[in-house]
């Protein structure tokens, strides 16, 4: 009976709280800062909220407000960056060291001062050994020297381009407190689920299946920041629910296309709601057909070219993405200003040519009109990847390739594709993160251990490409490095280790009252220190 009492009270408190969360914004706060409570939709609850270990957008969405990187992406800052925990960075001429000057007056949410020891600890004990992306970028990081509390000098064993380090700052350098993690098992630390950082918001609580709550950190270093008093992430796993919740003003913002693309046209006409396509420029997702080169048919370049010709990219963009995407030309997306080159082999939609290439490759149509059968595994993460799976099956049927779709949940899909290689073709949504060396070259590089998600697990090996990737990783001169990556794009487009179909950013839908939305190229995963709700 006692147990019942407690649980009922909890339920009542919880529901009263949720009710309040929707009612409060209209009550208003009349201080110098604009204040307010922002309620946003969250579609998943990551198991580990530590962005220093799991550098993925699902984690950043919540924890980037709590744990800060050394620098954030910016539309107009120098090098496309805006300082956060680091105020300046300088590389040595030999490419073996990078010196960071750190911000003064920064404290952790538990009151301890922030210092260069925290940066050194995060880099050597977390980013390099544990982080999904840091393992690649920081693999040659040998030591971090801390001559004083506000200086950190990264020492590399091999020349490492400053350009790469700069491009990696926003996503890869979330700094965690040494005094919380040191001497304990980092992967099992309870702070991974209730992160402690230096950001504008403190992690307050998480009710599984209901919400996350972040509270304003009063001693944040940014002047007059943060504006908001509180951020609530309401867990709404059903995508159709987010649109309804926005209209009912239960939530004020839905990022990462939580409102289905098909609903955008309708909701953009609802008074008081705006549809925003900016704020994802540094998080470009790519729709990619992954190919298992162990299949003898697919090891033949002509077959891969035929598949590329069989896909109508414009149809994919218009019908599946409803125009909120661009047809891809190659492995680097067009909206990247540093590395992109349009000067690559392209494969227009041409069924006749695809058929001819398949005939030439020695796979004629049999009596039933089919040439050979393939197993197709669409990634289950997005509606669009699944729909593209349905489309691709039809597109391949048109050229006589019989693709059988195998649907899996996320865990089973990752295991099937990236560990067991139990696929012929798969559909993946990798992310381009501002530099090909961060998460793009591993899509085609050979020698990657089994089990690394979004990497070359198709058994593809091209010595020329591998050499190019290795050379670019050590080239210090930015212009020369860009030139190498342009060659890299050409070779990938010519040899088709994978097929890039489209590239897209997400859509944010917000109430008009939410201000300072999408004002940097990683807005959804940045710290929201200047965001406020107008009352």
**Residues near other proteins, by CB under 8 A:** 239-240, 243, 260, 262-263, 265-266, 319-320, 380, 383, 387, 389-391, 393-394, 397, 404-409
Nearer to other proteins, 157 or 394 (CB): 394
Q: Which two tokens stand for residue 528?
A: 């929201």
- For 26-179, where are the E strands, in sequence order? 37-42, 71-73, 81-83, 86-91, 97-102, 141-148, 151-156
Q: How far apart are CA 255 and CA 253, in angstroms?
A: 6
Nearer to other proteins, 391 or 504 (CB): 391
| Cβ–Cβ < 8 Å for 117, 85 | no
Nearer to other proteins, 70 or 287 (CB): 287
| Cβ–Cβ < 8 Å for 284, 503 | yes
Q: How far is CA 166 from the centre of its chain?
A: 17
The minimum distance between CB 265 and other proteins, in angstroms, equals 7
Nearer to other proteins, 269 or 337 (CB): 269
The minimum distance between CB 382 and other proteins, in angstroms, equals 11
The minimum distance between CB 22 and other proteins, in angstroms, equals 21
The minimum distance between CB 267 and other proteins, in angstroms, equals 8
Nearer to other proteins, 193 or 319 (CB): 319
The minimum distance between CB 250 and other proteins, in angstroms, equals 17
Nearer to other proteins, 139 or 239 (CB): 239
Q: How far apart are CA 360 and CA 380, in angstroms?
A: 34
Nearer to other proteins, 361 or 416 (CB): 416
Nearer to other proteins, 81 or 311 (CB): 311
Nearer to other proteins, 361 or 405 (CB): 405
Q: How far is CA 101 from the centre of its chain?
A: 27
Nearer to other proteins, 422 or 482 (CB): 422
The minimum distance between CB 263 and other proteins, in angstroms, equals 6
The minimum distance between CB 295 and other proteins, in angstroms, equals 19
Q: How far apart are CA 432 and CA 444, in angstroms?
A: 14
Q: Which two tokens stand for residue 181?
A: 């993690």
Token pair 């204040």 is found at 35
Interior/surface letters 463-477, b for 16+ CB within 10 angstroms, e for the rest: eebeebbeebbebbe
What are the backbone angles phi and psi of residue 41, rounded to the nearest 5°? -85, 135
- Which residues have CB under 8 Å from 527's CB, separation 6+? 64, 65, 68, 72, 84, 199, 200, 201, 226
The minimum distance between CB 260 and other proteins, in angstroms, equals 5
Please report which residue ranges of 173-321 form alpha helices under DSSP H.
Answer: 178-181, 239-247, 261-267, 301-310, 313-315
- Which residues have CB under 8 Å from 496's CB, separation 6+? 291, 301, 304, 305, 308
Q: How far apart are CA 203 and CA 196, in angstroms?
A: 7
Q: How far apart are CA 219 and CA 232, in angstroms?
A: 20
The minimum distance between CB 319 and other proteins, in angstroms, equals 5
Nearer to other proteins, 247 or 360 (CB): 247
Nearer to other proteins, 120 or 267 (CB): 267
Q: How far apart are CA 318 and CA 328, in angstroms?
A: 13
The minimum distance between CB 507 and other proteins, in angstroms, equals 14
The minimum distance between CB 285 and other proteins, in angstroms, equals 18
Q: How far apart are CA 526 and CA 174, in angstroms?
A: 11
Cis peptide leading into 420, omega within 30 of 0? no
DSSP lists the bridge partners of residue 107 as 113
The minimum distance between CB 394 and other proteins, in angstroms, equals 5
Query: Whose CA is closest to 187, among 144, 142, 129?
Result: 129
């Amino acid at each position: 009976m006692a147990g019942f009492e407690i649980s009922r009270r909890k339920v009542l408190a919880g529901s009263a709280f949720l009710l309040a969360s929707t009612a409060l914004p209209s009550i208003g706060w009349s201080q110098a800062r604009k204040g307010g409570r922002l309620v946003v939709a969250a579609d998943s609850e990551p198991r580990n909220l530590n962005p220093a270990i799991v550098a993925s957008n699902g984690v950043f969405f919540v924890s980037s407000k709590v744990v800060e990187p050394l620098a954030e992406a910016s539309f107009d800052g120098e090098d496309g960056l805006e300082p956060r925990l680091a105020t300046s960075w300088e590389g040595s001429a030999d490419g073996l060291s990078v010196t960071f000057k750190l911000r003064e007056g920064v404290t952790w949410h538990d009151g301890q001062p922030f210092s260069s020891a925290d940066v050194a600890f995060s880099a050597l004990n977390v980013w390099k050994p544990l982080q999904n992306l840091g393992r690649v970028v920081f693999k040659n990081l040998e030591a971090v020297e801390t001559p004083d509390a506000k200086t950190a000098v990264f020492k590399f064993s091999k020349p490492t381009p400053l350009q790469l380090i700069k491009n990696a700052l926003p996503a890869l350098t979330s700094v965690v407190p040494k005094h919380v993690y040191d001497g304990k098992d980092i992967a099992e630390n309870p702070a991974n689920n209730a992160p402690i950082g230096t950001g504008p918001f403190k992690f307050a609580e998480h009710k599984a299946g209901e919400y996350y709550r972040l509270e304003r950190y009063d001693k944040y270093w940014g002047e007059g920041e943060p504006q908001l008093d509180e951020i609530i992430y309401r867990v709404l796993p059903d995508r159709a629910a987010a649109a309804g919740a926005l209209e009912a003003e239960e939530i004020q913002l839905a990022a990462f296309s939580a409102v289905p693309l098909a609903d955008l046209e309708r909701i953009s006409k609802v008074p008081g709601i705006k549809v925003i396509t900016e704020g994802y420029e540094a998080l470009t997702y790519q729709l990619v057909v992954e190919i298992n080169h162990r299949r003898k048919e697919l090891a033949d370049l002509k077959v891969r070219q035929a598949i590329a010709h069989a896909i109508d990219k414009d149809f994919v963009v218009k019908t599946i993405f409803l125009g909120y995407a661009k047809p891809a030309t190659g492995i680097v997306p067009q909206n990247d200003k540093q590395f992109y080159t349009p000067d690559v082999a392209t494969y227009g939609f041409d069924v006749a040519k695809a058929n001819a290439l398949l005939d030439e490759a020695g796979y004629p149509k049999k009596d039933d009109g089919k040439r050979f059968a393939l197993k197709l595994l669409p990634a289950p993460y997005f509606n669009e990847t699944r729909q593209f799976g349905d489309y691709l099956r039809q597109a391949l049927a048109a050229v006589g390739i019989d693709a059988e779709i195998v649907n899996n949940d996320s865990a089973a899909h990752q295991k099937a594709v990236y560990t067991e290689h139990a696929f012929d073709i798969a559909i993946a949504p990798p992310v381009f993160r501002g530099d090909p060396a961060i998460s793009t070259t591993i899509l085609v590089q050979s020698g990657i251990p089994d089990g690394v998600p979004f990497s070359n697990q198709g058994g593809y090996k091209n010595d020329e490409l591998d050499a190019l990737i290795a050379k670019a990783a050590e080239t210090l001169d930015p212009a020369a490095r860009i030139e190498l990556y342009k060659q890299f794009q050409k070779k990938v487009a010519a040899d088709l280790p994978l097929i890039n179909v489209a590239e897209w950013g997400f859509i944010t839908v917000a109430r008009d009252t939410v201000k300072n939305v999408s004002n940097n190229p990683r807005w959804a995963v940045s710290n929201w220190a200047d965001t406020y709700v107008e009352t």
